[in-house]
Structure 1
Amino acid sequence: MTAQRQERNGGRGMIALRFRLVSIALWSSLGWVGLGVQACLPVPAEATTTERVVVNRYTGLAIEGYDPVGYFVDGRPEIGREDFEASEAGAVWRFRNEGNRASFVAHPDIYGPMFGGYDPTALARGVTVAGNPRFWLISEERLYLFGREANRDAFAADAPRVLREAKARWPELEQDLAQ
């Protein structure tokens, strides 16, 4: 996380992590009772599903900092570099090089993941689930991210049906997401 982003976020990510670690240590010291209570504590989510683009709530990075253009150019997920960032759709995107950054800035609608990075198989069921940048597929020249490998496989088996259902439900689901 850049110093500027830490300052903007007020260091909330580290504070939440420290609180969680202290809570775990405290409850663990209480033995079995501690384990029961500890299981009830909320676990911080890595990605938020209340935005139109899936963003890591602590870093502000879209698709966990992976280079969206890299899926098309390199044929695999590649972590972007802090030196090559761009802001688009309320998210910070990272790229491996200036060329990938320039391509994305010129055509974010082409290189950005479809449905803002939400899993299309989940959308087809009527729920928003953040896609994992490690489970991906390019279909009809669009990038899709999936929450689980099984969802990617189900999508690949019947992409036209899943896309038809996801596209039908997306406007209503997108409207419920924060602006």
Structure 2
Amino acid sequence: MTRFLMVIALFMSSVSYAQDAISTGFFSNKALNGYDTVAYFTDNQAVEGSAKFVTEYQGADWYFASQQHLDLFLIDPEKYAPQYGGYCAWAVSAKNDFAPSDPTKWAIVDGKLYLNYDQTIKQKWDLDPALHIQQADAHWPALINK
């Protein structure tokens, strides 16, 4: 029995440090908490998706407000998917770590979508997005490959 518990403990410790490529909820597989990633670009706002328009991409479920948005995503998912898997962009930049994000705290910079944890963190991000993007781009490959 002791050997079994040791194996379980080792397995659980390795799982607890692994992060998925796409940020999803603890009890859901929804990317962006079910918000429509295309709407940020086409409607310039955060719009909740519908269970009628869903696709799987990089192990997560992506929800869309319309068939048109789903179709646009299917044509070029990398264009619409948020940077850093939808994790908080400021945390990846400033803390070199993962943190969840709030899909209503977002920015599009140079045609790319960035999400942040909350309004306070978004304000920090807004002070120098170019610097944060540069730092996060440097941190992200090592973070995701841990």
TM-score calculated relative to the size of structure 2: 0.84
SS in 2 for 1:130: coil
Which runs of no fewer than 5 residues in structure 2 stay unpaired? 1-17
2:33 aligned with 1:64: yes
The match for 1:168 is 138
Aligned residues: CA RMSD = 1.2
Any residues of structure 2 matched to 1:3-152 within 5 Å, and which? 50-124=19-93, 125-152=95-122
Q: Distance in 2 between matches of 1:70 and 1:159?
A: 21
Moved over 3 A (4+): none
SS in 2 for 1:137: strand
Q: Distance in 1 between matches of 2:80 and 2:133?
A: 18
Q: Distance in 2 between matches of 1:138 and 1:120?
A: 12
- For 1:110, the aligned partner's letter is K
- For 1:58, the aligned partner's letter is F
Higher radius of gyration, 1 or 2 = 1
Question: Which has the bigger relative contact order, CA under 8 A and spacing at least 6?
Answer: 2
TM-score calculated relative to the size of structure 1: 0.69
Q: Distance in 2 between matches of 1:108 and 1:57?
A: 23
Question: Could you report, residue by residue, the CA deviation over 1:26-62 in whole angstroms, capped at 9, with x for unpaired residues?
Answer: xxxxxxxxxxxxxxxxxxxxxxx82110012322111
Quote the offset at 1:137 in angstroms: 0.8
